[in-house]
Homo-oligomer: A and B are copies of this chain.
Amino acid sequence: MIRYPNGKTFQPNKTVSSKKSQKQSPSYSNRGMTLEDDLNETNKYYLANQIAVIHKKPTPVQIVNVHYPKRSAAVIKEAYFKQSSTTDYNGIYKGRYIDFEAKETKNKTAFPLQNFHEHQIEHMKQVAAQGGICFVIISAFDKVYFLEADKLFVFWERKEKNGRKSIRKDELEDASFPISLGYSPRIDYISIIEQLYFSQETVD
């Protein structure tokens, strides 16, 4: 149990997943914080505590027109969103290169693979080939999952061979590791990495 400094107990946002009686189970998107917000807070925590240096890459933008008004900052007047050729997050933990993508779905039975585009999968394969620690963080079914890239590739190949276009809930549960949600850090994905790549213990 986690307690705030004032002694009150902290109620993790996501432990409600077992309360199946609730009609509107609180998904990630309707509790006010996004997965991205929580990951940014988590990464700030890792940075401040010298645990890891992980940043989200800026949104890629094609800048077309910039105005330079006198005595004030340049204003971008026309720009367009570009598709990223990589994943959104990367950095370093204990000397190892870390690379991941984060995705959410509101779908209640499966995670649709259309959440990824070909470029991102290609990038993840390149990173894996260089020996990087590569994975995806998936927020789905009121939980957060850590899915290694190698496992994702298997589902992706199935789709490419005209198979299912999604990962079924039970498949995801089997292939991934659950990330426990907490107060600080909120989404402690480094603890999974520590167990998987740096510790002798097995993760079940």
A residues adjacent to B (C-beta < 8 A): 47, 50, 52-53, 55, 57-61, 63, 73-82, 84-86, 90-99, 123, 126-127, 129-132
Contacts and interface: CB of A to CB of B under 8 A. Distances in A.
14 contacts: A53-B130, A53-B132, A58-B58, A58-B84, A59-B63, A73-B80, A73-B81, A74-B80, A76-B79, A76-B80, A90-B90, A90-B91, A92-B132, A97-B98
Contacts of A82: 58
Contact of A59 (B52, B58, B99, B132): B58
Contacts of A98: 97
A126 B47 contact: yes
A121 to B, nearest CB: 14
A95 B95 CA distance: 9
Contacts of A53: 123, 126-127, 130, 132
Given A55-B85, A55-B86, A58-B57, A132 B76 contact: no
A81 B76 contact: yes
A92 B81 contact: no
A172 to B, nearest CB: 27
A56 to B, nearest CB: 10
Contacts of A78: 75-77
A130 B90 CA distance: 14
Contacts of A74: 80-81
Given A76-B80, A78-B75, A130 B92 contact: yes
